Copies of this chain bind each other. A is one copy, B any other.
Amino acid sequence: MPPATTRSPHDRLSRPQQVAEAIKSWVMQNGWGPGKRLPSESELIARFSMAKGTIREAIRILEAQGLVKSRTGPGGGVFVHQVSEARATALLGNYFYFEHLTIDDIYQIRQALEPELAASLAGQLSDAQLAALEDVMTCYSEAARTAEEEREQHVASLRFHALLAEMSGNALMRFLIRFTANMLAEITVSRRLYAQPNRELWSTGLDYQSRLIDALRRGDAVAARQILSEHMKNAHRLMLLQETVLTQRFLPENEII
């Protein structure tokens, strides 16, 4: 029995989709990487014996997936393009537009991932990296006075986690941490949760992160894991009070954090 591609015979692929798939596997088989220029429109028209419109739609499909980019003018054309994190985030975000994630859901993942991330980074960071973490922390070292400052502190605290993720050698970990933080920001911003003064969250958050940086510097993986685990548990608990269903929008193709 073959690996069995589970496409029902009823949803046949349109010609542009066929062409897009063909180009995909063509690029893959030749091992072409980012920057590689694909044949021009007219060449593709000749190669696939299809009309311009059909070829163009195929290119658009690949472009929407972030796999190619096209430029006009001489030396222009269609180029293989590395899918950006922003694009991947937006595309995955579309999926969760229809699933209704709660703050609980997101924190269950963060609760599992972040301590593991912290543990894996203990003793691995350079002085410059540790300094960068402390730098972000100082953005919210003082109690917020206005709602605007409150919001900025909230964003900064999420940036702390994003920065930590950036330091991981694990691309999957990096993406997931940043994605979950993004989703959380979407909720809190869209629901104005940050507007509710939550001094306890930010102040205890500051304390935890300070201790975390210390543990990371000492190379104490167990402590780092424990600290971030408690931090997550606490943040989760505080946010739980204002739990809400995520009515997230279609994400535009740009970075939130």
Point out residues on A near B: beta carbons under 8 Å: 3, 5-7, 16, 20-21, 24-25, 27-28, 33-34, 53, 56-57, 60-67, 82-83, 85, 87-88, 91-92, 94-101, 104-106, 108-109, 111-113, 115-116, 120, 170-173, 175-176, 180, 183, 189, 249-250, 252-256
Instruction: Across the interface, name the chain B residue whose C-beta is closest to A152.
Output: B1
With both chains docked as a complex, state the minimum distance between the C-beta of A257 and any C-beta of chain B, in angstroms: 10
Ordered nearest first, which 10 A-B pairs have the shortest CB separation?
A: A88-B95, A99-B171, A64-B64, A112-B116, A61-B64, A91-B91, A83-B95, A82-B98, A105-B170, A112-B112
**A56 to B54 CA separation, bound complex (whole angstroms):** 10
Instruction: Across the interface, name the chain B residue whose C-beta is closest to A155.
Output: B3
Q: Given the known A-B contacts A61-B60, A83-B97, A91-B92, are A6 and B254 also in contact in the complex, defined by CB atoms under 8 Å?
A: yes
Instruction: Across the interface, name the chain B residue whose C-beta is closest to A89.
Output: B95
With both chains docked as a complex, state the minimum distance between the C-beta of A50 and any C-beta of chain B, in angstroms: 14
Q: List 19 A-B contacts (CB under 8 A).
A: A3-B189, A3-B256, A6-B255, A27-B250, A56-B57, A60-B61, A60-B64, A61-B63, A64-B65, A65-B91, A67-B94, A82-B98, A88-B95, A100-B171, A101-B172, A105-B170, A108-B172, A109-B113, A112-B115
- List, in ascending order, chain B residues with CB within 8 A of A189's CB: 3
With both chains docked as a complex, state the minimum distance between the C-beta of A196 and any C-beta of chain B, in angstroms: 19
